[in-house]
Amino acid sequence: MKKSSFVLFAALVVLVIACGGEKLTPNGYKYTIHTNAGGAKAEVGNYAFVHISVFQDDSLVNSTYQMGRTVPIKVPNQDSLPADQRGVGKANPVADVLAFMSVGDSATVEIPLDSMMRQNPQLKDAKSLVYGIVVADIKTKEQYDQYVLDERKAIDEKMNVVKAQEATVASQLGDLIKQYKAGSLKDKLQTTASGLKYLILEAGTGAQAEAGKKVDVQYYGMLPSGEEFDNSFKRGQPYSFPLGQNQVIKGWDEGIALLKVGSKAVLFIPAALGYGSTPNGKIPANSELYFYVQLEKVQ
């Protein structure tokens, strides 16, 4: 969905919040179909690939648009649903409305806020919860199975490419640490007020990392001895975390925030911005830490 279309859809959600849904799904959820594109119809057993946006009152909480991909949901056979999966609060509200939708259609479904849901502090005082749904594609069971195989193959191929970089990155970081200790990087290093030193190997041109946003980072960590203590390359997958939320060491929260997507850098993190006087696994107390980092995504 284009950005302008999403803004319009968000406005429709606010209208639904104010006016209420017009129809009921088989399990009792109020829903409204906003657009009827006349595309392929979702049938029982098919998999609908949908965008889902969650609105609390009139504010967007999260959305698959932020993830950059749709979510596949199987269209259920209402007659064969077990008793414990029927009714409001039990049945999946998105799956429940799919039988009324076609490719290109958009709809909103109201989610009643019961006492159990209000145990969530974020929903304690909420007046409404609405799911906005857009059907992007529909696949048969056979097409879906092939899609899963293709996705797995693509993921494995990408992981193998990343894993193949491990030895090269380790060698590069080891050489830079030797130069750092010898004092030959002084003219290239930048230092922040906190004492964090960093070296930009390749400046990215993508989105700037910012506090509160989720970032994907490939990394390789070494101790002053040159020993590796952890790295994402061996796993073939980046480390994902919300930046600036104290979920990583201070040196990472500060250092990654200096980068744009596509950047490759080395962070020279003093103990005060690392684990301090507390040992952590292979990391001794009061250790300066060295990280090669690649910022892959900001969302």
pLDDT digit string (tens) for 156-205?
A: 999 999 999 999 999 999 999 999 999 999 899 999 999 999 999 999 99
Per the domain annotation, does 10 fall within a domain?
yes
Residue 94 has what pLDDT? 95
Q: Do 102 and 183 fall into the same domain?
A: no
d(Cα 120, Cα 133) in Å, to the nearest integer? 23
Q: Do 205 and 81 fall into the same domain?
A: no
- Choosing from 216, 230, 239, 241, the catalytic residue is 230
**Is residue 31 annotated as a catalytic residue, yes or no?**
no
Per the domain annotation, does 18 fall within a domain?
yes
Question: Which domain, by its residues, includes 96?
Answer: 3-139
pLDDT tens readout for residues 92-107: 999 999 989 999 999 9
Q: Which two tokens stand for residue 48?
A: 């609908």
Q: Do 118 and 181 fall into the same domain?
A: no
Q: Do 121 and 190 fall into the same domain?
A: no
Q: Do 200 and 258 fall into the same domain?
A: yes
Per the domain annotation, does 145 fall within a domain?
no
Per the domain annotation, does 105 fall within a domain?
yes
Q: Which uninterrupted H or E stretch holds 200? A: strand 197-202
| Whole-number percent of the chain with pLDDT over 90 | 80
d(Cα 179, Cα 45) in Å, to the nearest integer? 61
**Is residue 100 annotated as a catalytic residue, yes or no?**
no
Q: Do 133 and 184 fall into the same domain?
A: no
d(Cα 274, Cα 260) in Å, to the nearest integer? 22
Q: Which of 63, 57, 34 is nearest to 130 (CA)?
A: 57
| Whole-number percent of the chain with pLDDT over 70 | 93
- Choosing from 100, 147, 229, 239, the catalytic residue is 229
- Choosing from 249, 256, 269, 283, the catalytic residue is 249
Residue 17 has what pLDDT? 43
- Choosing from 219, 268, 290, 292, the catalytic residue is 219
- In contact, 82 and 91? CB cutoff 8 Å: no
Per the domain annotation, does 159 fall within a domain?
no
Per the domain annotation, does 284 fall within a domain?
yes
Model confidence, pTM: 0.73
Half-sphere exposure of 293 (CA within 13 A, CB side): 32
Domain boundary among 105, 139, 173: 139
Q: Do 180 and 135 fall into the same domain?
A: no
**Is residue 17 annotated as a catalytic residue, yes or no?**
no
Check pLDDT > 90 for residue 36. Answer: no
Check pLDDT > 50 for residue 19. Answer: no
d(Cα 166, Cα 234) in Å, to the nearest integer? 6
d(Cα 88, Cα 112) in Å, to the nearest integer? 8
Domain count, the chain: 2
Cα 62 to Cα 55, 124, 151, 237: the distances in Å are: 8, 18, 24, 24
Q: Do 113 and 192 fall into the same domain?
A: no
Q: Do 115 and 174 fall into the same domain?
A: no
Domain boundary among 89, 121, 139: 139
- Choosing from 275, 283, 290, 292, the catalytic residue is 275
Residue 29 has what pLDDT? 94
**Is residue 125 annotated as a catalytic residue, yes or no?**
no
Q: Do 190 and 227 fall into the same domain?
A: yes
Which CATH number belongs to the domain containing residue 40 in this structure? 3.10.50.40
Domain boundary among 139, 154, 183: 139
Q: Do 172 and 215 fall into the same domain?
A: yes
**Is residue 249 annotated as a catalytic residue, yes or no?**
yes
Q: Do 222 and 256 fall into the same domain?
A: yes
- Mean of pLDDT values over 260-287: 96
Averaged confidence pLDDT in the chain: 91
Q: The tokens 């179909």 sit on which residue?
A: 33
Check pLDDT > 90 for residue 124. Answer: no
Per the domain annotation, does 153 fall within a domain?
no
**Is residue 230 annotated as a catalytic residue, yes or no?**
yes
- In contact, 244 and 256? CB cutoff 8 Å: no
d(Cα 182, Cα 165) in Å, to the nearest integer? 26
